[in-house]
């Protein structure tokens, strides 16, 4: 029918969002999920994980020469992380603007980091920074069977394409 002819019911762009250990400790998981739900994105994967140094060294490989890299690994392994995959039109770019600047001091109010954090070393949340990066990170963090293809009842209302 009409619905299946539309890409609304196919797999759209996806991104990795992760609530970092400080966000979990501060009980911000619900508020962060709420922002992505209310914006109109579709949750297709969700799990709480104790992240390994091996995964992090792949995830943050391009930062390994930075002076803050050892403390970044310590921070990210200090407690559970809630990892999510969100799907929808332009989700990578829109998520980055919802999350805000890497440095909370420069993050605007209304963004996750601008509302909930003060220092770059404890910035509450991760969001993939490009479509290629998102694909790489999703494969790193999730197995294929952990991602669900499902039709959200409002998806042909919230997006024309």
- Residues marked as catalytic: 126
Stretch that binds ligand IDP, among 35-43, 77-85, 87-95, 123-131 (CB under 6 A): 123-131
C-beta of 9 vs 121, nearer to ligand IDP: 121
C-beta of 26 vs 156, nearer to ligand IDP: 26
Burial class of 85 by CB neighbour count within 10 A (0 to 12, 13 to 18, 19+): buried
List the beta bridge partners of residue 141: none
C-beta of 12 vs 117, nearer to ligand IDP: 117
Which stretch of DSSP H or E encloses residue 56? Answer: helix 53-59
Q: Tell me the two tokens of residue 1.
A: 């029918």
CB 104, CB 123: distance < 8 Å: yes
Cβ at position 44, least distance to ligand IDP in Å: 21
Of residues 59-98, those binding ligand IDP (CB under 6 A): 63, 68, 72
First-to-last alpha carbon distance for the chain, in angstroms, is: 15
- Rule CB under 6 A: say whether 135 interacts with ligand IDP: no
C-beta of 42 vs 126, nearer to ligand IDP: 126
The span from the CA of 71 to the CA of 63, in Å, is 12
* Position closest to ligand IDP via CB: 102
Stretch that binds ligand IDP, among 46-54, 82-90, 122-130, 152-160 (CB under 6 A): 122-130
Q: Which residues contact 111 (CB under 8 A, 6 or more apart)?
A: 97, 98, 99, 100, 101
Which spans of this chain sit near ligand IDP (rule: CB under 6 A)? 63, 68, 72, 102, 120-121, 123, 126, 129
């Amino acid at each position: 029918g009409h619905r299946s002819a539309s890409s609304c019911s196919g797999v759209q762009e996806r991104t990795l969002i992760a609530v970092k250990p400080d966000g979990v400790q501060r009980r911000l998981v619900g508020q962060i999920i709420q922002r992505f739900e209310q914006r109109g994105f579709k949750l297709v994967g969700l799990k709480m994980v104790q992240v390994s140094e091996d995964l992090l060294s792949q995830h943050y490989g391009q930062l390994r020469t930075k002076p803050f890299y050892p403390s970044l690994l310590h921070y990210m392994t200090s407690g559970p992380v809630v990892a999510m995959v969100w799907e929808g039109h332009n989700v990578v770019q829109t998520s980055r603007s919802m999350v805000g600047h890497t440095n909370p001091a420069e993050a605007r109010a209304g963004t996750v980091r601008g509302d909930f954090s003060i220092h770059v070393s404890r910035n509450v949340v991760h969001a993939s920074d490009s479509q290629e990066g998102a694909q790489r990170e999703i494969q790193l963090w999730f197995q294929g069977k952990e991602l669900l293809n499902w039709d959200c009842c409002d998806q042909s209302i919230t997006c024309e394409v």
